[in-house]
Structure 1
Amino acid sequence: MHLNTHTYYSLRYGILSPEDLAQQSSSLGIKVMVLTDINNSTGLFDFIKACREVGITALAGIEFRRNHKLLYIGIAKNNQGYMELNNFLTRHNLSNTELPYKPNSFDHVYFIYPYGSIQPKDLQENEFVGIQPLQLRKLISSSFRYQQHKLVVWQPATFSNEKGYALHRHLRAIDKNILLSQLTPEDTGQVSDILHSPDQIRQTYAQFPEIIKTTEELLKECSFDFDFTAIRNKKTFTGSFYDDKKLLEKLALDGMLYRYGANNIHARERIEKELHIINKLGFAAYFLITWDIIRYSMSRGFYHVGRGSGANSIVAFCLKITDVDPIKLNLYFERFLNPKRTSPPDFDIDYSWKEREEVQDYIFKRYGAKHTALLGAMSTFKGKSIIRELGKVYGLPKEEIDLMIDYPETAKDDQIKQNINHIGSLMTDFPNLRTIHAGGVLISEEPITCYTALDMPPKGFPTTQWDMYIAEDIGFEKLDILSQRGIGHIKDCTQIVLQNQGIDIDVHQVEKFMADEKVKDQLQNAETNGCFYIESPAMRGLLKKLQCNNYLTLVAASSIIRPGVARSGMMREYIQRFHQPNNISYLHPVMKEQLEETYGVMVYQEDVLKVCHHFAGLDLADADVLRRAMSGKYRSKKEFQRIVDKFFSNCRQKGYPDKIIHEVWRQIESFAGYSFSKAHSASYAVESFQSLYLKAHFPLEFMVAVINNFGGFYQTWVYVNEARRQGAIIHQPCVNNSFYTTSITGKDIYLGFIHVQNLESKIAQLIDFERQQNGSYKNLEDFIKRTGAGRESMVILIRTGALRFTGKSKSELLWEMHLLLTPGKKKPSSQSLFSLPQKKYQLPKLARSKVEDAYDEIELIGFPVTLSYFDLLETNFRGGLKATELIFHVGKRVRMIGQLVCIKYVRTVRKQLMHFATFIDVDGNFYDTTHFPPSLQAYPFKGYGMYLILGRITEEFGFASIEVEKMAKMPIIPDPRAA
């Protein structure tokens, strides 16, 4: 008779997982119960599954609260009632209106009000009042004394015992952002809000049999049926399964002509094979909907990259969902789709960050708001964040919380800190906040609110209250509409090239790019700064070690760089075998048969599937469970363990030695959570070649595009340095030449006003708009009149050098500006009919150095523009060698000067901290360093800046780096402005 139960999806309130709630209820002999999480329906389907396993009938409900105050609970009579509850909550979430104190009429919902909040005369037929055990004594003097048929048992269940209540109180204090001691009884549940057996409840309410009878009858009237095997996605695209089948066939064959020509028998056979399975499994609509989205975005001129397991499909290739040719790459069809697969394959579609929301908007308008939603996600309590939250609850100062995080051993003798650690361990991985999945979109056959209430996060599109795991459990397959700045680089670069050089580039001519000698040379030399996915120090090193100059090698590199492969030692093994392909010892003949293309090393998810299927004898359905596990997309450890046990059992039945079985499994395990499908890597490689081509032939325009997209592995100054290295002349912002974003004319690159820190965005955008409307600015007064810039903005612009066109020094301009904008003096009017001459003042000559200008630029732009950090060094020494010379002096000890670009933090097998770092030399070229624990402890990094490095040059597979022995941060010329 529990009508009001909470799981930990009642965020920062409940403490029981759906599984724990079901297990504990079963142990008490409870046979039916209602889940009523607060203002959400997140946990219902997990709860139903858990209840079915222990023989409990699970019912659906929601507890509605307004500003933490309990209003009522709604209990669904059936599935229709659950949808009514979701619709009700969704309507208020999407419109951002408060829940009413009394809901409107519902056809399939019972409402229960807290005792004392409503009179019997105000209750509708489907409305009742819940009375808790401690309230029973008030009944004799209540208006409900003779209306007990409108009362039901109300025994809330939120935790298991007093320890659970303590955890609940900590969560409530975190939620309200107050000290634990400041909690009031209204802020929390009651100590008695725990599960009771049916016999206990009957005994408590024994003197009120009518209340028990009403409660039992209400529960009997309710049910919730759900089939977890059904597909929830939109079932047809055209409205007919047959028409979907015929349309998909036509589009695939039309696409075949475009991709392969009319006479490619192999392509046609594979298309027909795929279409047969797609139609048999009912996935035609999923393909057609994806095609429709691509068709729309291409009509708008948006670039896209199709990824995901769907990119293994020749049908997807022919529909232009992806540009990856599965025949050319020999992609494993069963990774994409096999007859035993119950859910459609993933389609991940990347767009520029500037265009993604327009694509999402199209999907919502095309398929209807009732049937479309973004996929939610769940942020959980983890690690340091728990200590910070609990530290605030106990009133600890920030310094003490930081100390506790950095040095956990200090908590041993402190009772408060021990409490924090204990409570923190209990709430680890608890849901904390509902957020949004990176790109998931659901398109449903039935209204989305059949399954969930919807939130309206700042993103502006309705979002499910549950995540991808629950979506998958109940039969949804998401479309991933993702944003990626690499695509923005490519599109913007082509537009800049057209404007700057008058050349129109078709970036889809990828075959041409792959054959381009300049591109091959750039790839082999790891000249990849700014290029999508291949610009990081680790990737640059890998490209050099593989002497990569072709598409297939780049596809492999894109996968073996992933952490699992690298950490397991298989990346190094792959490189070794790549260079010595005739000296390979395969673990087993099956490994040679299935993995000869990758030298016997598992590189892709497909390789793992092949090994599990052909080596261990797992069927494709079980292999797919492993595949999902490798992607981090599984939740059932029980199901995963079953597959693991089956893997070892099958291998032993085949007579394989234990040593080989365990080594194969070790290699499989290294993929967990990190692996790529081959099609995914191939998609990345296609985009990398597009970036490489643009950088090889239009390096300056390309770097401007990278700078303007604010995306990439490095900070903006690194890309500005790269543009300068490629021959650009870099200018600080100028009111008569710069735009809001960075621009290029010829070889002159003018930084945009967007890079000027603390400059008001409105002024930054107005400067170039006003100039384009009414011509160049004539002088300082003209600029102030036309833009209306105030004193603060003018100081920033003058110190940045943006008004240097006047020919006056910064000091003169600042004096003049202060005279024009003196407090109390009327600002120059932009409405003047005639321009009156400005009164002249004779100023003394004020000396100013380039170093002062450089410090102004560092302060206001983030890095020096007119000088480099090398120019600011106190020493004239610039290093014993240049970065490009290291490979010719392997083994030699060398002193190098470098500007720190980035640091990678790693732990050794002994858990000691070590670093890999990247620097640039005086010519702007990268070089890399290794800092082992002893060196790092003696000579740690001291922030970004200039360093003197002493170390030995090492080499691995043709890639040179410096193993650091000593290091010191170098002094630069002091800021003369401080004097």
Structure 2
Amino acid sequence: MLLNVHSFFSFKYGVLSPERLLKEVQAGGHRHVALTDINCSAGHSEFFRQAKDHDVHPVAGIDLRSGMRQLYVGLARNNAGLHQLNGLLTDHLLDGEALPERAPELPDTFLIHPYGARHIPSVLRENELIGVRPGEVDRMRFARLTHPKEKYVALTPATFRHKADRNTHRLLRAIDRNTLHTKLTPADLAPPDERFLSTAELLRAYAHAPELLKRTEALLEQCEVDLAFNTSKNLRTWSGDAEEDRRLLHELAQQGVRYRYGDPSPEVLRRLEHELRTIEGKDFVSYFLINWDLVRFAKQQGFFHVGRGSGANSLVAYCLGITDVDPIELDLYFERFINPARDKPPDFDIDFSWKDRDRITQRLFEKYGEGRRVALLATYSTFQERAIVQELGKVFGLPPHEIAALSAGDPSRPRWIGKGDRLEFSGRTSAPPESDPIVQAIHRYAPRLKGLPGHLSIHVGGVLISERPITHYTALHLPPKGFPTTQFSMVEAEDIGLYKFDILSQRGLGHIRDAVELVEQRTGERIDIHDVKRFKQDPVIKDMLRTGDTIGCFYVESPAMRMLMKKMRVDDYKGLVAASSIIRPGVSHSGMMREYLLRYHDPERRKLAPKKLLDIMPDTFGVMVYQEDVIKVGYAYAGLSLAEADVLRRSMSGKFGNRKEFGEVRESFFTGALAKGHPLEEVQELWTQIVSFGDFSFAKGHSASYAVESYQSLYLKAHHPLEFLVGVANNFGGFYHTEFYLHEAKRAGAVIEAPCVNRSGELCTLGEVVSAERGVMSGMRQRHSTIASHHPPLLFLGLNNIKGFPTEVTQLLLKERDRHGPFTDLPDLLRRVPLHVEQARMLVRVGALRFTGRSKPRLLWDLTLLHEGPRSADPIGDLFVTKVEEPRLPELHHHSLADAYDELELLGFPLCDPFTLVECRSDDQTIGRSENGNAPSHPFTLSSSSLPHILSRQMPSHINKRVQMLGYMIHVKATHTHTGQDMTFGSFIDTAGDFWDSTQFPAIAERHPFRGRGIYRLTGVVEEEFGHCALRTQAMEKLPWKPDPRLAG
């Protein structure tokens, strides 16, 4: 037996997984083993689940320590004891108070104090003992015992197997201590005797005190914890009464079906009754009611939500308002969500705005959290390739530049490749040579660290709501987010029967909500953003989908998605649902995206698909697009049961792909498909497609939910573009940089203005031109076209758009402006707001004081004169309460190009047309005529060449022709060919403001790499596929900016 075993859940201390640990103790002949990780109970579930396969009796415990000092080892006699130990550790971790030197009364535990510790009580309770390590036996034999001999047991800590494990432990401790491994003290490390000993070695170690082993074995035999795997531990009822829950669910479903359908058809009512019977039969009623109540609360607070995932397959969920996807309209497969063979509750994914999610989470704790029955779900932050090399480089003492070079490898694609029993970096590097002993040590130990958990993190949205206190299963800790969080992950939680609620956040809902509110503020119009049926019929939206005019719109704005929609000629809801899933790597990487497009455009090609697959998936022409398709294929094609088909579907997520059940289902798939007479080659190809889905395919209901949100975004952009784009820019979560949403706002008629201390808020705002300011706003720089008589709206950037300008200063400035009115000039601003000199300079340089009518150079002089001496870190405000005499200054010249460089530095992008910043070269020819024959609007050049230079809109008339194109790069996607070679896709804006795409195959991608944002000149051939044009690049260069005039002599 072994007492006080550590797994790698003793973070940055232990080195073995519970499974590897069990193999070791089984090989050593041990029957009883206590897993006692340091201040952590994360490993118990996995340890207990696998123990039966290794013929080991598992004991649950915790090694309770203050830092590295062991206070006592707690063992759970039973489930109540595990609850008590987890509760003690939770009190410590949540309150931040030190663990007591002596544990409180924990009657269902054994508490073992380390022999020789100063804090051992003189009188021990019945369940308190003293543990003697192997190296302490002789010392105990010859010492006077301070307690009855029956209180002494064998404490056999086990952390590593051999020298390599101990060295790994040493490196982990150095990483934890953030120090060189040579500076570690013995107190920082596990003692050398924390080695796994076999039963024979234990007998020899305790040969002079065998009674310690006998007592320890008897002690461990008394410990019996039953985690009752796979039995639900979730909250059983919502109202407190199961019958009342059932009645309420039926009532809500009947109300909802009439709200959604008016006079529902018999088909709808049959489906509703079928779902209700299944939900009741599986005892999932409370799960639905908890989600319903949460959504109801959100609506009361004015929060937007999206119910997505496979939950969108449920008609009951649709009727309860949890989702907004009509499963009847899309023929969604309810069995993907719940089927008779599924024992675990279904998985609702509910998205809220990133601004609202914490309030929703807080609501769950307020309503259900009494007695620690609610907790966030943890994840494990594991050591991965680049981070391992960085950490090992530090503990071995490498200088930062060598660590950076060693960890970067090939900068375009950092990755590791296998070299026998070690890992090496691929690609070019300026790192130390391979012969360097430190590099060799890093190569030797990096694989040992890979995958080890380094610390706990927080699951992206998982929340547990338990019938009993969660400390019956895990201790809780308190991360910076401020909510109690488990010490185990989703996998362990599901194993023991705790199934999460997914409370997720996204920025798309934030920009929709902000846009709706902004429209109402500016126009008085109240938009029913949930009227998606009307949006689906909107001709403007149909045209936007067909043409890919979807920048800023949720999930449909990426270059790849816009390209796919144009190729599919999407103009309706079902087409968008399909596109939302086809774009996922699971479909595209399997080659089935192209096959889908071929069959979509060519009815004759559909006949090449196996008839059985066409029968199963007629809407997608026999191509697997959704996760449900895997269930359908498994069930109808291979004859699997629904339970087996669902295991097959779940295995794609990677959660269970390494477990025995996946191998069994694979065998059943082949056996069943061949028994049905399908050709082996066809079965193998189909299986390859299934496996390629991996974790990268969507449930159809998930795609449908995303499509609903896409339509909401599309409606706002179609009919209220400026309010919509301000919402997108202010939520900072779109696919592109803020600059390109401002570009879209320009195209929609706005004039983009730099931040202004009198007009800007924290974030972007819309406003009309104030008559007194018109001359100043438009005349300071000739960057915008002349303001028309109707005065287009101004879009002011927010003060928080200024890089490095403190948010707290912004809030002070706005508060002062709200209280006492606009600022009159620079001295007035400095008197009223405690700005440091550099902060004031930032405001001047970004143009935030242009309302004064003074040039930037003059304002900077004024600031210098007003400052007169104090350190630049000091606030200026009190320095001047009297008017400063105007000095006589020489003429101060100002170049508009300096504005652009200030903006590049302080905003991250210029507000002027970026093409005006390109340096002209004498050996180039002036850009040719525009499409309409007029002279170009940009004073820059193209290379001397006979090739035509074209705009995006001219690409369809130049198919298969070699051309030149200029583009302001907005996005680059790096990817790999099937042979592993690097290639890239580029997206650009041309001089007319339109988007276009390029493809750089491996040879070109290597010869002509992208070199950051800027203007590029590309030469290549225009290619067309399914109606979408792109440039296949043959050569590319980045054009230089004009010199920065701020640096001139």
Q: Same fold (TM over 0.5)?
A: yes
Percent identical among aligned pairs is: 45
**Displacement of 1:669 after TM fit?**
1.3
Q: Is the 8 A contact 2:835 2:876 kept in 1?
A: no
Q: Which moved more, 1:101-110 or 1:680-689?
A: 101-110
Further displaced range: 250-259 or 837-846: 837-846
Corresponding residue for residue 4 of structure 2: 4
Q: What is residue 382 of structure 2 aligned with on the other side?
A: 380
Partner of 1:713: 735
Residue 701 of structure 1: how far off its partner (Å): 1.1
Counterpart for residue 36 of structure 1: 36
Matched AA of 2:1022: I
Are residues 829 and 534 of structure 1, via their aligned partners in 2, closer, same or farther at CA, if it must alter by over 3 Å? closer
Paired AA for residue 639 in structure 1: E
Q: How many angstroms apart in 1 are the aligned matches of 2:864 and 2:339? A: 74
Residue 190 in structure 1 maps to residue 191 in structure 2: yes
498-507 or 271-280: which moved more?
498-507
- The CA deviation at 1:141 is 4.7
| Aligned residue in 2 for 1:404 | 406
Q: Deviations over 1:774-833 (max 9, x none)?
A: 22211222222222223121111011110111111112212222333323599886899x
Indicate conservation of the 8 Å contact 2:8/2:17, yes or no: yes
Residue matched to 1:593: 615
SS of residue matched to 2:975: strand
Question: Structure 1 CA distance, aligned partners of 2:354 and 2:1028?
Answer: 34
Pairs within 5 Å for 1:561-580:
561-580=583-602
How far apart are the structure 2 equivalents of 1:938 and 1:20? 47
Q: Distance in 1 between matches of 2:553 and 2:941?
A: 28
Deviation at residue 768 of structure 1 after TM alignment: 2.6
Structure 1: how far apart are the matches of 2:25 and 2:905? 62
Matched, 1:973 2:1049: no
Q: Which residue of 2 aligns with 1:127?
A: 128
Cα distance in 1 between the residues matched to 2:1017 and 2:385:
36
Contact kept? 2:914, 2:968, Cα under 8 Å: no
Contact 1:44–1:60 (CA under 8 A) maintained in structure 2: yes
C-alpha separation in 2, matches of 1:439 and 1:647: 34
Kept in 1, the 8 Å contact 2:353–2:506? The answer is yes
* Greater mean deviation of Cα atoms: 295-304 or 62-71: 62-71
Give the whole-Å Cα distance in 2 for the aligned partners of 1:146 and 1:845. Answer: 93
Q: Deviations over 1:556-590 (max 9, x none)?
A: 00001001210111001111111123431254332
**Partner AA of 2:962 in structure 1:** R
Aligned residue number for residue 787 of structure 1: 833
- For residues 341 and 960 of structure 2, the distance between their equivalents in structure 1, rounded to whole angstroms, comes to 56
Which residue number corresponds to residue 1027 of structure 2? 958
Classify 1:829/1:653 alpha carbon distance in 2 versus 1 (closer, same or farther; 3 Å).
closer
- Aligned pair count reads 977
Q: Is the 8 A contact 2:5 2:36 kept in 1?
A: yes
Q: What amino acid does structure 2 have at the position aligned with 1:709?
A: N
Distance 1:16 1:829, change over 3 A: closer
1:868 aligns with 2:937: no
Secondary structure of 1:230's aligned partner: coil
Q: For the residues of structure 1 that align with 2:183 and 2:483, how far apart are their CA atoms?
A: 37
**Residue 606 (structure 1) aligned with residue 607 (structure 2):** no
- CA change 1:146–1:472 in 2 (3 A) is closer
Please state whether the residue corresponding to 1:121 is helix, strand or coil.
coil
1:771 is matched with 817
- Report the alpha carbon displacement of residue 838 of structure 1 after superposing the two structures with TM: 4.4
Secondary structure of 2:693's counterpart equals coil
Other-structure match for 1:371: 373
Q: How does 1:505-524 map to 2 (within 5 A)?
A: 505-524=527-546
| Structure 1 partner of 2:788 | none
For the structure 1 residues 827 and 431, does the alpha-carbon distance in structure 2 shift closer, same or farther, using more than 3 Å as the test? closer
Q: Which residue of 1 aligns with 2:510?
A: 488
Q: What is the identity, as a one-letter code, of the residue corresponding to 1:846?
A: L
Q: What SS does the corresponding residue of 2:60 show, helix, strand or coil?
A: strand
- TM-superposed CA distance for 1:837, in Å, is 4.7
Moved more, 464-473 or 141-150: 141-150
Q: Which shifted more, 288-297 or 155-164?
A: 155-164
Given that 2:610 and 2:622 are in contact with CA atoms closer than 8 Å, whether structure 1 keeps it comes out as no
Of residues 468, 478, 485, the one that matches 1:463 is 485
CA shift digits 1:588-638 (9 cap, x unpaired): 332121111111100001111100000001111111111112223325432
Tell me the CA shift for residue 758 of structure 1.
1.7
Corresponding residue for 2:969? 900
Distance 2:434 2:859 in 1: 61
Tell me the residue number matched to 1:618: 640
Gaps of 5+ in 2: 411-424, 427-431, 769-792, 922-938, 943-948
Q: 1:873 to 1:534 in 2, by over 3 A?
A: farther
Q: How many Å separate the matches in 1 of 2:767 and 2:380?
A: 47
TM-superposed CA distance for 1:858, in Å, is 0.9
Q: Distance in 2 between matches of 1:374 and 1:347?
A: 16
SS at match of 1:490: helix
Amino acid at match of 1:741: L
Q: Measure how far apart 1:215 and its partner are.
A: 2.0
Q: What is residue 902 of structure 2 aligned with on the other side?
A: 856
Q: SS state of the match for residue 948, structure 1? A: strand
Q: Aligned residue for 1:114?
A: 114
Q: What per-residue deviation string (whole Å, max 9, x for no partner) do you get for residues 468-524 of structure 1?
A: 111111112211100100000100001111122222111101011110001110111
Q: Give the stretch that moved more between structures: 222-231 or 205-214.
A: 205-214
Q: What's the offset of the Cα at 1:708?
A: 0.3
Name the residue aligned to 2:440: 418
**What is the identity, as a one-letter code, of the residue corresponding to 1:337?**
I
| Contact 1:469/1:634 (<8 A) preserved | no
Question: Are 2:396 and 1:394 equivalent residues in the alignment?
Answer: yes
CA distance in 1, matches of 2:147, 2:846: 81
Residue 819 of structure 2 aligns to a residue in which SS? helix
2:598/2:605 contact within 8 Å kept = no
Provide the rounded CA distance (Å) in 1 between the counterparts of 2:545 and 2:121: 79
Amino acid across the alignment from 1:189: A
The Cα shift of 1:867 comes to: 4.7
Moved more, 312-321 or 8-17: 8-17
Q: Distance in 1 between matches of 2:916 and 2:582?
A: 36
Letter in 1 for 2:1036: M
Corresponding letter in the other structure for 1:884: R
**Separation in structure 2 between the aligned mates of residue 50 and residue 610 of structure 1, nearest angstrom:** 32
Normalised TM-score (structure 1): 0.97
Alignment partner of 1:20: what SS?
Answer: helix
1:927 aligns with 2:996: yes
Q: Is the 8 A contact 1:587 1:660 kept in 2?
A: no
Paired residue for 1:159? 160
Q: Deviations over 1:301-360 (max 9, x none)?
A: 100000121110000000000000000000011101111100111100001100000000
**d(CA) in 2 for partners of 1:293 and 1:892?**
58
CA distance in 2, matches of 1:549, 1:148: 83
Matched residues in 1 for 2:812 and 2:530: separation? 36
Instruction: Kindly indicate whether the alpha-carbon contact (under 8 Å) linking 1:878 and 1:922 is maintained by their aligned counterparts in 2.
Output: no
After alignment, is 201-210 or 761-770 more displaced?
Answer: 201-210
User: Aligned residue for 2:230?
Assistant: 229
Q: Secondary structure at 1:870's aligned position in 2?
A: helix
Q: Secondary structure at the match of 1:253?
A: helix
Counterpart AA for 2:54: V
* Structure 2 match to 1:259: 260
Larger mean CA deviation between 383-392 and 71-80 belongs to 383-392
Residue in structure 2 matched with residue 94 of structure 1 by the alignment: 94
Q: Deviations over 1:737-756 (max 9, x none)?
A: 11111000242100000011
Instruction: Give the partner amino acid of 1:440.
Output: G
> 2: distance between equivalents of 1:290 and 1:734?
45
Residues of 1 paired with 2:1040 and 2:854: CA distance?
Answer: 32
Aligned-pair distance for 1:718? 1.3
In structure 2, the residue corresponding to 1:60 is in which secondary structure?
strand
Alignment partners' CA distance in 1, 2:264 and 2:562: 41
Aligned residue for 2:605, secondary structure, equals coil
Deviations 1:626-668 (A, max 9, x none): 1112223325432211111111111122222111111111111
CA distance in 2, matches of 1:767, 1:445: 50
Q: Which residue of 1 aligns with 2:362?
A: 361
Distance 1:255 1:582 in 2: 44
| Structure 1 position 958, deviation (Å) | 0.6
Distance 1:451 1:217 in 2: 25
Q: Secondary structure at the match of 1:670?
A: helix
TM-score, reference length from structure 2: 0.91
Per the alignment, residue 22 of structure 1 pairs with 22
Counterparts of 2:174 and 2:882, CA distance in 1: 65
Is 1:799 the counterpart of 2:800? The answer is: no
Whole-angstrom CA distance in 2 between matches of 1:827 and 1:237: 56
Cα gap change, 1:869 to 1:459, in 2 (>3 Å): farther
SS at 1:363 equivalent? helix
Residue 139 of structure 1 contacts residue 145 of structure 1 at CA under 8 Å; is this kept in 2? no
